[in-house]
């Protein structure tokens, strides 16, 4: 195995990395190896005032912080992380599967600081953490959908009430307009009739005055202008 490893290293296909010590973050919950992380609790209801803000954050396209996800799941840094094994597999992608597996096993056998079980256990724990985080995202989205639908139902109810009230007021105003038009037409007709009656009465009186005046004037034409009485 060591000869195979030396051959791969000389060919530039494999680089043996010296494991670097990694700081272990403080974790409040200690998980027993092989025990999956606890399922996340359902998120609390999103306040209505935060719905638009939550939707904006969801649409912002923020990249996932895998380190935070793993830390929240209580995954301690592995001696040989799964990502490191993935990089090794990618580096050997030009090989066929059997040769690649032989090369990786050779590296495992040549380095006593890690075993294949280390990256495999790390990968399993991280897969579980990612799945748990995915479920949490789904729950948050479902909660947001419920809250948004509740708000939309409220918006629709308010719209129907306000529009209904406005239409009722419009109908009442239209009835007031109709009554006012009818009353105005009636008053106009009454005033016009009264004015016409006054015109007719005035015309009759003027005609009578003219007739009387003409008869009186006829006396002067018949008997002359009256003389002025003599004064003593």
pLDDT digits (tens, 9 = 90+) for 6-59: 655 655 555 555 544 444 344 343 433 444 444 444 444 445 555 666 555 555
Instruction: Kindly provide the residue ranges of all beta strands, DSSP E only, lying in the chain, ordered along the sequence.
Output: none
pLDDT digits (tens, 9 = 90+) for 81-132: 999 889 988 888 888 889 888 888 888 787 778 888 899 999 999 999 999 9
3-state secondary structure of 27: coil
C-beta neighbour count of 126 within 10 angstroms: 19
pLDDT digits (tens, 9 = 90+) for 137-189: 999 999 999 999 999 999 999 999 999 999 999 999 999 999 999 999 999 99
Query: What would the two tokens of residue 53 be?
Result: 């803000």
Q: What is the pTM of this model?
A: 0.51
The residue with greater pLDDT, 220 or 13, is 220
Residue appearing with tokens 């719905």 = 51
C-beta neighbour count of 224 within 10 angstroms: 8
By the 10 Å C-beta count (0-12 exposed, 13-18 middle, 19+ buried), 73 is classed as buried
């Amino acid at each position: 195995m060591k000869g195979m490893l030396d051959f791969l290293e000389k060919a530039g296909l494999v680089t043996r990395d010296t494991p670097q010590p990694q700081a272990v973050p403080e974790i409040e919950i200690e998980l027993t190896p092989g025990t999956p992380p606890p399922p996340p609790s359902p998120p609390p209801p999103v306040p209505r005032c935060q719905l638009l803000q939550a939707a904006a954050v969801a649409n912002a396209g923020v990249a996932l912080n895998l380190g935070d996800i793993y830390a929240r799941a209580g995954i301690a840094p592995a001696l040989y992380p799964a990502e490191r094994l993935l990089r090794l597999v990618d580096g050997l992608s030009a090989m066929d599967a059997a040769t690649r597996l032989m090369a990786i096993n050779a590296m495992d056998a040549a380095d006593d600081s890690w075993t294949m079980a280390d990256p495999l256990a790390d990968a399993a724990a991280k897969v579980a953490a990612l799945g748990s985080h995915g479920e949490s995202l789904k729950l948050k989205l479902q909660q947001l959908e419920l809250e948004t639908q509740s708000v939309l139902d409220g918006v629709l109810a308010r719209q129907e009430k306000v529009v209904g009230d406005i239409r009722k007021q419009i109908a009442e105003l239209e009835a007031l307009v109709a009554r006012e038009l009818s009353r105005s037409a009636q008053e106009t007709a009454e005033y016009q009739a009264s004015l016409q009656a006054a015109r007719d009465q005035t015309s009759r009186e003027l005609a009578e005055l003219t007739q009387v005046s003409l008869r009186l004037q006829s006396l002067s034409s018949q008997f002359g202008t009256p003389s002025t009485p003599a004064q003593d």
